Structure 1
Amino acid sequence: MTPTPSAPVLLYDGVCGVCNSAVRTILRYDPDGPLRFAALDSDFARETVSHHPELEGLDSAVYVRNAGQPDEAVFIRSTALLQVAGYLGGWWKLALAAYVIPSPVRDWLYDRFAAVRYRVGGRHDTCPIPSAEVRSRFLDTAYG
């Protein structure tokens, strides 16, 4: 399954409890939206990395805008999370005030949390299978 040309995609750590909780939160606030999800170890993520070699070995959230299009753009770490906040709109846009913090500082904070995310939120042995109601928003043939 490929996303529609305008549909953004969030790549996330599929075995991370914090990351899975964040995806569930996004789905709760955006139940019918176009945003799609793919685990970092999915075929979709590997394809994205093939177009963006700078992502090779990255263990971070990645927001992909215009996936598969000539103007495809990727945003990583804290900027990926801010892109999600902008996508969600409403009061989530308050988080966009964090753009006043220089990205190296934001990313340093992101990396500090990412280093302990398994201790904070736990780690799954495998990527949890999404419920049938939202499965179509996940770009992984295993969920088909």
Structure 2
Amino acid sequence: MDEFNAIGDLIFFISKELKKDLDEKLKERGLGQGQTLMLLTLFRLKDREDITGELLAKEMGINKGNVSRNISKLKEKGIVSITSDEKDQRKKYIKITDKALEDIKSIESVLKDIHKKMVKNIEKDILIKTLEGLSKMQKNLNEKEN
């Protein structure tokens, strides 16, 4: 299987390029990668009433400290609001604001452009096989080892 080690390297470098392009194109919005991913996750969960830092950490696979820092930055920008639970003041609920919808549209547009650039001039059947392979790789990496 050593012949396929280059796959991991390519995924790593593609990821770096994607992040660089995203940072560059979202610079004017003042959103970093962490905040952007947080906002996209919040948007995906927007219909839930119980969004907490703990839930976001689990959904995104990051630690609660990173969630807390990103949520604080998003709150400063008016993108999220935070309310306390009526029964347990330590428990905080996070909601996206109307301002977030504007940012989401901008992020989606940027991501669409980046993704279009990434798959340009690649045949559909190759893209389908690539997607299948990458999905299986992600599943393998997410499996718990015994």
Q: TM-score, normalised by structure 1?
A: 0.29
More helix, by proportion: 2
Between 1 and 2, higher relative CO (CA 8 Å, sep ≥ 6) is seen in 1
More strand, by proportion: 1
